[in-house]
Amino acid sequence: MEKALTELIKISNAVGKNKLLVQGGGGNTSVKTENGKHMYIKASGTALKDMNAGRGWRRLKVKSVLSILEDTSITELSETEREKEIVNRLNQACDDNIKTGSRPSVESHLHALLDRCVIHLHPVAVSAYVCAKAGRAELERLFRGEEFPPLWVPYVDPGYTLAMKVSKLVNAYKKRFGAAPKIIFLQKHGLLISTNTAHTALRLVQRVINICESKLRPSKPVKVKKPKFDDIIAAKLAIRQAYFETRQAYVAVRYFIDGDIGAFLKRKDAKRLLSLPGLTPDELVYAHGPAMWLDKNDYKTIANRLKERMIKSRIPSVAFLVNGLGLFIVGTEKTIPDVKDIVTGSFLVRSSATNFGGLNPLNRRQRDFINKWEAESFRRKIAAEAGQRQLRDRLAIVTGAGSGLGRSIAIGLAREGALVGLLDIDRKAATQTRDLIKKELPEASTMILSCNVTDEANVDKAFKSLLENWGGMDILVNAAGIAPPYSLTELPVGKWRQALEVNLTGYFLMARAAAKIMIRQGMGGNIINISSKSGLEASKDNTAYNATKAGEIHMTRGWAHELGEYGIRVNCLAPGNVFEGSKIWNPEYIRICARKYGIKPEEVIPYYVKRTALKREIKGQDIADAVIFLCSEKARTITGQTLVADSGQVMVR
Residues taking part in catalysis: 545
Q: Which residues pair with 398 in a beta bridge?
A: 422, 477
Contact 108, 39 (CB under 8 A): yes
Query: Beta strands 38-42 and 57-61: pairing type?
Result: antiparallel
Amino acid identity, residue 302? I
Q: How far apart are CA 531 and CA 550, in angstroms?
A: 7
HSE, side-chain direction, 13 A CA sphere, residue 262: 11
Q: In what order do the strands lie in the sheet with 419-424?
A: 446-450, 419-424, 395-399, 475-478, 525-530, 568-575, 642-645
Inter-residue contact 329 to 343 (CB < 8 Å): yes
SS3 content of the chain, % helix, strand, coil (to 5): 50, 15, 35
Report the distance separating Cα 571 and Cα 107, nearest Å: 52
Report the alpha-carbon distance of residue 625 to residue 605 in Å, rounded: 22
Alpha-carbon gap, residue 110 to 61, rounded angstroms:
14
Which residues are CB-neighbours of 349 under 8 A, at least 6 positions away? 124, 127, 128, 131, 279
Cα 85 from Cα 98, distance rounded (Å): 21
- Look at strands 319-322 and 57-61 and give their pairing: unpaired
Pinpoint the alpha helices (H) of 33-105: 62-70, 79-93
The helix/strand/coil state of 23 is: coil
Task: Work out the burial of residue 389: count CB atoms within 10 Å of its CB; fewer than 13 is exposed, 13-18 middle, 19 or more buried.
Answer: middle
Query: Half-sphere exposure (CA, 13 Å, Cβ side) for 268?
Result: 0
Pairing of strands 326-331, 252-256: antiparallel
345, 340, 341: which is closest to 330 by C-alpha? Answer: 340
User: Do 60 and 116 contact (CB within 8 A), yes or no?
Assistant: no
Helices (H) and strands (E) in the chain, counts: 25, 18
Q: What is the distance between the alpha carbons of residues 128 and 358, in angstroms, rounded to a whole number?
A: 10
Cα torsion 519, 521, 525, 528: sign = negative
Q: How far apart are the first and last CA of the chain?
A: 68
Please give, one letter per residue, the 3-state secondary structure of 305-341: HHHHHHHHHCCCCCEEEECCCEEEEEECCCHHHHHHH
Which one, of 589, 553, 575, 560, lies nearest residue 622 by Cα? 575
Q: Which residues contact 228 (CB under 8 A, 6 or more apart)?
A: none
